[in-house]
Amino acid sequence: MLGFMTSAGATVLAAVIGAVAVIISVVASLFVARASATAAVKTAQTSATAAVEAARASATAAVQAKLDELKQAQITSVIQQRIDRYPFLWKLCQESITLPAFWLNELSGIWSRGFEDDKGVSHTNLAASMKNDLGSYMQAALSL
């Protein structure tokens, strides 16, 4: 059939072949562009997610650091107030247990032996509790 083709027929055939090639090229370009756009969107989403996670981690670390700083300041303040007041309390208790008044016998017991509360729970004596609280016998109660 190609041997008997006229020049007009050959021109039409060449135009059809060229058109098919262009259509195939356009379709292939569309697929490549679509795949490229999908990859770009996924990359952008991944980058955005990573940025959000990094910002969240940074904010969490900053908040935790500030909380730790505030806790330390509060503990320091409480310990300083205890250090300032305990000598007076200790002196008051020492003086009170040496006085012979009848009502100080209960204080003397609380000071040296401890006490049992209304629920029957035994508590450490006051002298040891004060020393424990300041860290004399064990780690301070407010330590982290």
What pLDDT, on the 0 to 100 scale, is given for residue 134? Answer: 63
Q: Give the C-alpha separation, 99 to 84, whole Å.
A: 25
Query: What is the Cα Rg of the chain in Å?
Result: 44
What is the mean pLDDT of each successive set of 10 residues along the chain, which is 144 residues long?
A: 70 88 90 89 89 92 92 85 80 69 69 84 83 58 46
Return the number of other C-beta atoms located less than 10 Å from residue 97's C-beta: 17
pLDDT digits over 17-38, tens only?
Answer: 988 998 999 999 898 989 888 9
Q: Which tokens go with 131?
A: 């020393």
Residue with tokens 């195939």: 24
Q: Give the C-alpha separation, 39 to 100, whole Å.
A: 90
DSSP letters spanning 4-36: G--HHHHHHHHHHHHHHHHHHHHHHHHHHHHHH
Instruction: Please indicate, yes or no, whether the overall pTM of this predicted structure exceeds 0.85.
Output: no
What pLDDT, on the 0 to 100 scale, is given for residue 60? Answer: 93
